[in-house]
Structures are given as C-alpha cells and as structure tokens.
Structure 1
C-alpha cells in the first residue's frame, strides 16, 4: 500500500480532530474513511479540513478504535447510538471485534433476555452469522440484528412455520406447513434485510410439480440445501436444491408406508462421506423411530437404526425413545438423546446401529411438562439441551465440562442455536429467548 503519513483534519460539528492517513487506512475499503483513498491506498484529496455533521463523541471513540483496536465508550454515549454511528461510518465489524471475544461455550454468561411482541409459542430459533437471530412464530419470522434490534418480520402466510435457517447474513430459508388451499412450495429463500422473496423451491416428482410441506433442512458447502418434504398424496422424502438458483437437483423418496423417509425430523450433511443422515424421532402414540445414512452417490442406505414402538420390554422402550440425533463424523458415531437426557452413541462403522447409553436417568426422573431434548455440535463440543438446561460435553468419552443453569425465560427451552459469537435459547412459553455471550474482553471499558 502507498499509505501517506500526512495529517488529516476533521471538523465534526465544530469539534476538531486530527489523525493520520495510516490510522484511517485501517478502516475497510467500503467505509466512509476507506472512500477517501484511491486504489493504491493513497489519500486522494488535499483538503485542509473535512466537515462531518455527526456525533463528535462517537466519532472520537471510533477514531480511537481505528488507531488502537480498543473501544472506550464515553459515559454520555449509549451502545445503541454508537452502533448507529458505526453503521454510518461502515465500522460495525470493528466494533463487534472489539466488543465480542471468540465464543467459548464453557464460559458463557447470560447477557440478556428478549421478549417478543406476539403472544403464543414459538417453534424454532436460528442464529445468524453476524450475531443476530431469527425466531419462527406461527406464520411469521421475527428478525433481530446483532444489536438485538427487531426488524420488520417476514410473513410467509402459511399455516405454521416449521424451521428457519441462514445461508449467510443476507439470505434466510424458511420451511412451513402449507395451507390446504395453496398449491405451492413450503420452502422459500428470503432477503433478510428487505423481506423480499428471492425464490421458492419447487418439488418436481414424475414430471409433475407437487405442492408440499417442508420441515427439517440443512445446507452443505457445495451450495445445496436438503429438506424433508411431504405431499398431500402420501409421498415423503428429501428434496435437494441449488441454493443460488433454487432449482431442484434430486429427490429421494419412499411411499407412505416406508420407514425410510416418512417426513424426517432432522437432516444432516456428512461432507466427508458424501452421505445424508435422516432421522425420525419418538412422538407419543407415533410411528417407529429410525435413523438412516444415505449415500448420495448411488442412493443406497449404508447404515440404519430402527426402533419398533411395539417392543415388549418396558425398560428398553423408555430408554430407546430417541428425541434427537446428530452425527459426529470425526468419531464415526451418532449421538442420540432420550427424554431423560441420557446420551447414547452408535458406531457408524457397524452395519447396523445399536445404542450404547452413557447413563440411565430414566428410572430417577418422571417428567410431566413439555420437553424438547436437542443436540448441537460446535467447536469440538457436544451440546445437549433438556428442559431449561444446556450441557456441554467434550473429549473422546464426552465428559460433562460445563452447564448453563436456569435462565430467566419461562418454560422449557424449545430450541437453541449458535452463531456470531452468541448462543440463543428459545423458551416454549411467553415468546422469550435468552442471549448467552462469552464475557466481554477487558478493552470494552467506560471512561
């Protein structure tokens, strides 16, 4: 870079600031300060002074951030005002870097709880890469940026939204139960900033476009999305689409009576083995539970586990009621969790799965309230949620390393998600979600 060391003078509402081109060049190219340089990072203009009609206290804090990498918040400046000014100058990422240290799930603290504007229960929460989140609530998705300010929601206008997930900070996918009178897709991609529909994912089967309900879905590194699909004519399976074009690339399906694809509750890409893990979990008075590993190259089922709900053993019935499952490719295993927070493991290298349980809590606990056992993986940690508690496990034998205690939300945790240096936990009652963060670094100070 050909950065000049000339002094630069700013007049910010009558308050004079002097700095150097070197300090300003630490701002990104698309920022207000980056625009002052040419392609070779030479200061373009030779003005004696630049006038800026913005808040001088925020300007001082942001200028100091560029020079030192530390953020000192003046006592008369609120965080919301600082975020607004940082957005104007194009320095939000600099503020984020100074404010948030890298996510450490073993050191999380409860930062805040957010109550929604609508009554009733929510179904899912998804953290955005930028530190915000999306909450599925009835027929709408409520959107929050990383400052936790709520933006205009996305109204999918379907019967109920099942799931929501971020492709990136600007693109969000929503799956939903279609209304009987609608003859279209239950899966769509939206612009998260504007709420505009980018495209619906059509399902084509036997040269006919099918109206379908979508549920669980996942993304892979090849810009593909896989989603569970169910049509009104008894066709169930997993559709695969291109994220960019919205075009269908494949459809793995079985008829209504097959246990292989009867509307799975979880779908997971296994990038190393080019396989897709599809799982159906226990529901009271429901069908059999099953987990299958599908090889996408030849559409063959290479591994499976099936639990028949008609077993005679009460003990096995109670313990083998699997509520969630997640594949851990590095360990060649699948982890499952039952209603009582028992963790079990199955070896993917065997031809047929059998569960090795790590604990037997089912005799000691009799739970009557709604529960939503959920598993996640993050940074080598296995996270398990039961009731209002999230536990972290690590190491080759998955020992408990830490736990998030009871939070301020009401009811059991319905869903949780990790992204953008935060963990979000959605409660089943009162439309509340909690925000967990790693404690602020020492350079976030008030002067």
Structure 2
C-alpha cells in the first residue's frame, strides 16, 4: 500500500488521476514517468508541486495506467489500438504493452493474428525474403526494394536500392538493418539503413587487397554475430568466393576468409554465427553439391562438416541446415521434409535421417529455424514445430488459403511467414496466459 509521500497526481488533458510512485516505477528506467519523478527532470519546477500536467488524451492514459497497475491490457471498444500503441511509445512503455499482449513465442500454442496485406507485387515482382527483428518488426525484399513494418504492422518508408536486386537483409538491432544487393561497385552494394526512416547510415567496403579479390566483389548472404560483427558471403566475376567479417561500428573490413581451392565453394545459402564456439557455419547449396563448412576467424581455419555431391540438380536432397549449439548438433532438411541430425562432436560424421513427411510431395523452398528450444521446418504450406530431446513433431502452423510458404522468420515473439501467392504475410503470436 502506498504512503502519502508515495502518492502522485496527474492532470491529463483536464482529467485527474491519482496513483503511486511504486506503480509508476513498474514503467521502467526509460519511461516518461521515471523521468518526470526524477528530481533533475525539471530544475525550474516548484518543489511544492503536487500535480503533474500531461497534455495527452485521458482515455488512452487510463488504459496504460491500468496496465501498470494490473499487468493486464484491456482495450475498450472506443479505443483505437494503434493510437494506444503510439501513446505507449510516447510514454516509453511499449514493451509492457507487447508483454501484456502476448507471451514468449511458443510454436505449440501459436495463433494466427492479423496478416499484412497492404503491399503489392509491383510489375509482377514477388517478395522472396522476410526477416523478423528482435522487437517484433519485419522487413521483406521485393525486387530492388525493402519494405519495413513496425510492431503495429504499419509500413515505414520503402528503402529503394537503385534498381539492383536485393540479395539479403539482416537485422543488427531493433532499429537498423543491413542490405546486400547486386550492385557491383567498390562498396559491394552492402549498406546499413535506419529501418524506421529508410535512410542510409554507412557503406561497407567489400574488397580485400590481400585476398586477391577484384574491386567489384559483391556481398550476398548475411548474418550478424556477437561484438558487433557482420558476416557476408562474397564473390566476384573471377569466381573467387569467401566470407567477409566487418566491424559494424566502423564499417571496416576486419578479416576475409577465402574459400580454399579444394573446396570450390560458391555463394553461401545460409550463414549462422555460433557464439558458443566463436565460429561461423556456412551452408552451400548449388547445382552439383551441398557443403556445410565451419569457419574460425581466430586462426583462419576451415572445417568441412559434410559434402553431398549430385549428378543433376533434381538429385539434391539437403535443402537447408542449421546448428543447434545446445545439443552440439546440426539439423538438415531434405526436399521431402525429412529431418536429419549430425553430431558436431563426432569425427565420423554422418546424418541420421528420419522418416519423410511426404515422399511424393515437392516442397516450396523448405527452410529451418530454431527458437527458444523449438525447431521449425517449413514444407509446402505448413510449418512443423519439433520439441523435446528427440525433436518430435508436436504441432503445425498452417494457413492453406495463400499457397506455399516461400520464407519465414521468428523474432520479437512473433513468427512471420511469407506466402508464395496472394501477397500475404501471416503473423503468428502466442497469447499470454491469463493472470490468476
């Protein structure tokens, strides 16, 4: 129970609210309320002042104050939820709204939320890549543009890449993305952008003279590691390939790991930074073979974990691979939806395959993801969720109205799936359990 000294009075748009400093402290360090109650917030304020005036809508303020009091978010019918989210952002408590709206993402309890449908395939160009941010935003590549949607699923200014096709997108924090494109210039077509405004922040130099790569080398597949490290698979017209490592703060190239001649590697299909081992996993998929490689930038060593050769492109079996550091294993995904696992600690590495999802079906860009102890695999128009130590399939996320799943991404307690037809982004969320 609050003491008299603990009581705080607000005048919000002419309506009086009374609460306690204890309740307001729940808002957190970066909130408006913490700043207002700080003794250094306004050096000209009257020490005897007992009422704080806030020039905002009192109806929306009442909803947010009740959220701080109870931990639950109740939005009356007369309240516009998007305006409420903006008020929460103004007060610095948007994280509380997100936490009250849904809990940590759990594929076994995920529910389909409002889809994103307000974008079009201009000139017949379909979107093919989607990436989720740590705060529930998402961005998608569509030809030479990148579309960005915030937590409220509202679109921000489109990022145009000067008529050059976007190769990959990577979130480096809540506000910034790196985009690689086909632009064959000295900067390799790789830039850092403010996701909210669409403005370019800096370029990244791709060329490394010591590696012998030509100055028009380009970056493609991206990943972001610890200590502000940015990684990209690079190539040039002379068929030289390798992995670059940049300092995100300075934009300078730190190291370039050339692919050894005996590996004959092309552009990586996936890069994955492994913080537990300080290595980078690269998955290569081309017309003749599949390679899974570990790069250690500390001593410039390369370890080939798996190679699978093909006589024809249609013979390819492995379509994607991902490292699960918690179990020291690699999960691989076959064209027919089957999962295979390989022990990273064993020198005699081999893939232990499970039964197929459907031996006669042909999937559409199958892909793996790992999030908070759950493994996800896409297959045609559904995403399977695998849980437990044996990675048994425990549920499926499926929406059959808009074709197969082209790509999907998990971040900010949301899963975004990009459908191959219908210009639809499905959004999956996990409702928060009721407070008892």
TM-score (norm 1): 0.87
Cα distance in 2 for partners of 1:174, 1:82 equals: 32
Output one character per residue of 1:81-133: Cα deviation in whole Å (capped at 9) or x when no partner. 21122222222122122222222121001012111423131121111111111
Structure 1 spans left out of the alignment, 5+ residues:
none
SS of 1:106's equivalent? coil
Contact 2:335 2:366 in 1 (8 A): yes
Cα distance in 2 for partners of 1:44, 1:289 equals: 71
Cα distance in 1 for partners of 2:49, 2:169 equals: 50
SS of 2:239's equivalent? coil
- Per the TM alignment, residue 343 of structure 1 is displaced from its structure 2 partner at its CA by 1.0
Output one character per residue of 1:118-176: Cα deviation in whole Å (capped at 9) or x when no partner. 31311211111111111111111111111111111222225211221211111211122
Moved more, 411-420 or 95-104: 95-104
Matched, 1:33 2:36: no
Contact 1:202 1:210 in 2 (8 A): no
User: Pick from 213, 217, 221: which aligns with 1:216?
Assistant: 221
Cα distance in 1 for partners of 2:339, 2:293 equals: 19
Contact 1:99 1:441 in 2 (8 A): no
Residue number in structure 2 paired with 1:262 = 266
Moved more, 381-390 or 184-193: 184-193
Q: Aligned in 2, Cα 1:210/1:45: closer, same or farther, shift over 3 Å? A: farther
SS of 2:114's equivalent? strand
Q: How many residues align?
A: 428
Q: Aligned in 2, Cα 1:137/1:17: closer, same or farther, shift over 3 Å? A: same
Matched ranges for 1:225-304 at <5 A:
225-254=230-259, 259-282=263-286, 286-304=287-305
Q: Aligned in 2, Cα 1:40/1:411: closer, same or farther, shift over 3 Å? A: same
Cα distance in 1 for partners of 2:160, 2:221 equals: 19
Q: Aligned in 2, Cα 1:258/1:121: closer, same or farther, shift over 3 Å? A: farther
Matched, 1:415 2:412: no
Cα distance in 1 for partners of 2:356, 2:155 equals: 42
Contact 2:321 2:332 in 1 (8 A): yes
Structure 2 spans left out of the alignment, 5+ residues:
none
Cα distance in 2 for partners of 1:25, 1:211 equals: 54
CA RMSD of aligned residues (A): 2.8
- Per the TM alignment, residue 24 of structure 1 is displaced from its structure 2 partner at its CA by 2.7
Matched, 1:404 2:407: no
User: Pick from 374, 377, 380: which aligns with 2:367?
Assistant: 374
Cα distance in 2 for partners of 1:131, 1:337 equals: 26
Residue number in structure 2 paired with 1:392 = 385
- Per the TM alignment, residue 308 of structure 1 is displaced from its structure 2 partner at its CA by 1.7
Q: Aligned in 2, Cα 1:177/1:353: closer, same or farther, shift over 3 Å? A: farther
- Per the TM alignment, residue 443 of structure 1 is displaced from its structure 2 partner at its CA by 5.8
Moved more, 240-249 or 206-215: 206-215
Contact 1:212 1:230 in 2 (8 A): yes
TM-score (norm 2): 0.90
Cα distance in 2 for partners of 1:386, 1:392 equals: 11
Contact 1:253 1:261 in 2 (8 A): no
Q: Aligned in 2, Cα 1:48/1:267: closer, same or farther, shift over 3 Å? A: closer
Moved more, 418-427 or 115-124: 115-124
Cα distance in 2 for partners of 1:289, 1:151 equals: 38
- Per the TM alignment, residue 205 of structure 1 is displaced from its structure 2 partner at its CA by 2.4
- Per the TM alignment, residue 435 of structure 1 is displaced from its structure 2 partner at its CA by 0.4
Moved more, 96-105 or 209-218: 209-218
Matched ranges for 1:43-82 at <5 A:
45-82=47-84
